[in-house]
């Protein structure tokens, strides 16, 4: 219920006044739904048919903070709905595990991983690192980006070929990223061939 706090006191008449004002400011429900459906259809029309776009009815927003995944496995917030977990598994084609990273439930913020390696919160214990590494089947390292930031995913994005890190990331942090994600092992010719195949598959 929407309430109005004026001078630190809740009052019934002021609450009703605030609610009646907010109804005019907020879009009516049917207009919000129509707008959302148009946006969803625009996304589906803009992407190749092979890319599945699915809307999720979930009380937790900012799913990028709640989910971290590669091509095979996803780590998820411990409080995600079961239905959401099933949708993630179906749409992304991955096995979903409810997990925390160094006691943090926002796994999508505090780790990032690809099919080749992963970087997790610097306070992750060695036991947790071993458990996560076994679960994900990739080597993991505890570290930071952006000159000591523990929020890994906010400061970098990575795939099997390359990584992009924030401008404040130090040379030492970059060396760790290159090492754990095996970025120096990615041969340019293999990358070009793989990208060409994916582009051809997309447009043929």
Confidence of residue 185 (pLDDT cuts 50, 70, 90): confident
Q: What angle do CA 185, 191, 197 make, to 5 degrees?
A: 150
Handedness of CA 146, 72, 138, 120 (dihedral sign): positive
Residue 29 has pLDDT above 90, yes or no: no
Structure tokens at 43: 């996304």
Confidence of residue 154 (pLDDT cuts 50, 70, 90): very high
Residue 135 has pLDDT above 90, yes or no: yes
Alpha-helical runs (H) found in 62-150:
63-66, 82-92, 107-110, 126-136
More confident residue, 113 or 193: 113
Distance between CA atoms of residues 74 and 92, nearest Å: 9
Q: What is the pTM of this model?
A: 0.74
Distance between CA atoms of residues 131 and 111, nearest Å: 14
Q: For the domain 33-201, what is the CATH code?
A: 3.75.10.10
Give the burial class of 161: count Cβ atoms within 10 A of its Cβ; 0-12 exposed, 13-18 middle, 19 or more buried: middle
pLDDT at 191: 59
Structure tokens at 83: 């239905």
Taking a C-beta distance cutoff of 8 angstroms, is the pair 120, 133 a contact?
A: no
pLDDT at 23: 42
Partners of 156 in beta bridges: 165
Give the domain ranges of the chain. Answer: 33-201
């Amino acid at each position: 219920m929407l309430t109005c706090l004026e001078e630190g006191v809740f009052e019934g008449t002021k609450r009703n006044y605030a609610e009646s004002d907010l109804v005019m400011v907020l879009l009516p429900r049917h207009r919000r739904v129509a707008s959302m459906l148009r946006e969803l259809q625009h996304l589906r029309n803009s992407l190749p048919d092979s890319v599945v776009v699915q809307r999720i009815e979930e009380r937790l927003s900012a799913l990028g903070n709640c989910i971290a995944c590669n091509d095979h496995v996803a780590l998820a917030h411990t409080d995600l709905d079961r239905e959401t977990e099933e949708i993630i598994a179906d749409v992304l084609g991955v096995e979903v595990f409810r997990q925390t990273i160094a006691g943090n439930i926002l796994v999508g913020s505090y780790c990032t991983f690809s099919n080749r390696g992963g970087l997790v919160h610097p306070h992750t214990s060695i036991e947790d690192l071993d458990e996560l590494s076994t679960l994900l089947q990739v080597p993991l390292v505890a570290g930071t980006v952006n000159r000591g930031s523990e929020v890994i995913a906010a400061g970098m994005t990575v795939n099997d070929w390359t990584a992009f890190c924030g401008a404040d990331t130090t040379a030492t942090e970059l060396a760790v990223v290159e090492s754990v994600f095996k970025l120096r092992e990615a041969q340019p010719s293999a990358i070009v061939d793989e990208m060409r195949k994916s582009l051809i598959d997309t447009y043929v």
